[in-house]
Structure 1
Amino acid sequence: MPHFNKFGTGCFFTALPLAFCLGLSFLLPSEAAAQSGWTKGKKEGFYQLSFQSMNSNDYYTLGGELLETNQFSQQSLVFYGEYGVTDRFTIIANLPLQTWNGFETTERVSGLGDLRLEFKHSILKKYLPLSISIAPELPIGKANNFAKSTINDFEQINLPSGDGEFNVWSTLASSFALPNAPFYGTIFASYNMRTQYDGVQFSDQFALGAEIGYHIAQKVWVNARLNALATVGGDLLIATDFVRGDGTEYTSFSFGASVPVYKKINLSINYRNFNDLIFDRKNLYSAGVVSVGVYYERK
């Protein structure tokens, strides 16, 4: 979620138009992980470490216009975990342990990301699983993380690894599994109540998504997801700070697979990209995101 120092840093990226210098978005929006109507059983767990990467020079402005810029790259090492406190109550943690950001005209900088803690309760569990969750996101990441230009070392750009604000996601999700086939489906809707950073009030967000999955030969799980994010309220045309995801909108699709490698340890791979199917892309870089992970599941 890079942005320029509003206290006087100029735009040193010669390939970028002036409008681009006014603000950049959180460039690799995180996909809601494993949203479903199910909760873990008591003392059951799921723990994953994954690495994701993207490179892009296609930036969509706040108005949805496509700009070609210097290439931006972002890589993240992310921990994700679920633990069943009871059969109906699960605690979920999502933490980017390290995020690396950089343009082709800057040095690369890195830092810890923001911690998302989700508290999930099962409303219905047996016939049509239905859950509700509350997920505060704690701003423990680096809200300011300046990278120097490799062209002019007296200029710099802020490439933070955290957005600096406290926000709360609320999610309602429902799932189903076919009784005579290894097939499942999930739909969900989420609302993100955002606050402010450095005196700038951010607009709330609304997200929705669907997922289907199938177990091939009792060995390989494959899945497909469709997610969408939109901004709720706010006069974004005159906003002074778009750089922390304010005004970001998109539709994304992804395909993934996982296979067992040793006992309860599994390998997963996922590919994600963006389009304008539900909500047009705004205030983000659009490119394919590849993720590879290893997870352990305790039952």
Structure 2
Amino acid sequence: MQRINKQRIQLKVLFLGLFLSLSALTSFAQSGWTKAKGEGFYQLSFQTFSSDNYYTLAGELLETNQFSQQSVVFYGEYGVTEKFTIIANLPLQTWNGFETTETVNGLGDLRLEFKHALLKKYLPLSISVAPEIPIGRANNFAKSTVNDFDEINLPSGDGEFNVWTTLASSFALPNAPFYGSIFAAYNFRTEYDDVSFSDQIAIGAEIGYQIADLVWVNARLNALNSVDEVLVATDFVRGDGTEYTSFSFGASVPVYKDFSLSVNYRNYADFIYSRRNIYSAPTWSVGIYYQRKPN
């Protein structure tokens, strides 16, 4: 592991070492189920992440100044029909900063997902298309607290329009509160400021179990890989060439009527895709969600 002198490092070097994963902090739940007509799920969560361990495009681990990110995120699902669900994911506010910079904040990019059930009764199978609309702040400069003339771009949105296409399948045991899901997704990326980005492929699996008819627990495994081999640092801050394997554990418990409290832990590993172009450390999140029953 290479040690970078924290007192002498310049923000321009940090820029080349920064991967701001605007979506990686959120482990999207993908399943073969769609909501019933009129059914809804709405969650507000807070996520926090801090790391000084950066993996380069070549997979080399560097230690940099501490980078921190906190987000308040809205996530919602609504069943338009028995086979069609609309999903929204929006970081309402994201705070970014290094230990040697001020903290800047802004609205994130909006992800709208349109999900259709291909099979629903025996083997739930769905396909979804999810454009990410670049409404966040693609340029959001934080000034150095060490050198007044230095600054670094810490955007809350990546500035590019991209589209995720996902195929997912699920099952639930008939006589036990246990379920499982698997998915595969393709991210068609475009460009920002005349810089083109590599498309991405994501895969994942999830299992869940309800304890004592009260507490739901789940475990997830996700992996992301770039379609093209990215060899040159074109624009690291947008996540070009990023690869990783992540795992997470979560739990939720009802607190009042149709409201529940959820907590989640997420971290990264190398056993499917090795970490590249990413800051790696645990992410913790806590949220409150409301489930609306169909009429």
Aligned equivalent of 1:177, options 172, 195, 200: 172
Return closer, same or farther for 1:108/1:18 CA change in 2, 3 Å cut-off.
Answer: closer
Q: Percent identity?
A: 75
Partner of residue 57, structure 1: 52
Structural mapping, 1:180-191, within 5 Å? 180-191=175-186
Contact in 1 for aligned 2:11/2:151 (Cα 8 Å): no
Give CA deviations for 1:177-224 in whole Å, capped at 9, x if unaligned. Answer: 000000000000000000000000000000000000001111000000
Q: CA RMSD in A?
A: 1.5
Query: Displacement of 1:157 after TM fit?
Result: 0.4
Partner of residue 245, structure 2: 251
List, as ranges, runs of 4+ consecutive aligned residues in structure 1 with deviation greater than 4 Å: 16-21
CA distance in 2, matches of 1:82, 1:213: 19
Q: Does 1:267 align with 2:261?
A: yes
Q: Which moved more, 1:235-244 or 1:58-67?
A: 235-244
CA distance in 2, matches of 1:32, 1:138: 18
Matched position secondary structure for 1:179: coil
Aligned equivalent of 2:96, options 96, 101, 108: 101
Contact in 1 for aligned 2:56/2:62 (Cα 8 Å): yes
Matched position secondary structure for 1:36: coil
Give CA deviations for 1:135-185 in whole Å, capped at 9, x if unaligned. Answer: 000000000000000011121000000000000000000000000000000
- TM-score computed with the length of structure 1 as normaliser: 0.93
Q: Which amino acid aligns with 2:260?
A: N
CA distance in 1, matches of 2:106, 2:11: 28
Matched position secondary structure for 1:243: helix
Give CA deviations for 1:26-69 in whole Å, capped at 9, x if unaligned. Answer: 24614442200000000000000000001110000111100001
Partner of residue 193, structure 2: 198
CA distance in 1, matches of 2:39, 2:7: 50
Partner of residue 83, structure 2: 88
CA distance in 2, matches of 1:14, 1:118: 44
Return closer, same or farther for 1:15/1:239 CA change in 2, 3 Å cut-off.
Answer: closer
CA distance in 2, matches of 1:159, 1:238: 20
Partner of residue 5, structure 1: none
CA distance in 1, matches of 2:12, 2:126: 46
Partner of residue 73, structure 2: 78
Q: Does 1:216 align with 2:217?
A: no
Contact in 2 for aligned 1:38/1:131 (Cα 8 Å): yes
Partner of residue 9, structure 1: none
For structure 1, the 5+ residue unaligned runs are: 1-11
Q: Does 1:66 align with 2:88?
A: no
CA distance in 2, matches of 1:126, 1:152: 62
Matched position secondary structure for 1:141: coil
Return closer, same or farther for 1:45/1:13 CA change in 2, 3 Å cut-off.
Answer: farther
Return closer, same or farther for 1:190/1:269 CA change in 2, 3 Å cut-off.
Answer: same
Q: Does 1:46 align with 2:13?
A: no
Query: Displacement of 1:25 after TM fit?
Result: 1.3
Matched position secondary structure for 1:255: strand
Query: Displacement of 1:17 after TM fit?
Result: 10
Q: Which amino acid aligns with 2:215?
A: V
For structure 2, the 5+ residue unaligned runs are: 1-5
Query: Displacement of 1:236 after TM fit?
Result: 1.3
- TM-score computed with the length of structure 2 as normaliser: 0.94
Structural mapping, 1:16-165, within 5 Å? 20-27=14-21, 29-165=24-160
CA distance in 1, matches of 2:70, 2:20: 13
Aligned residues: 287
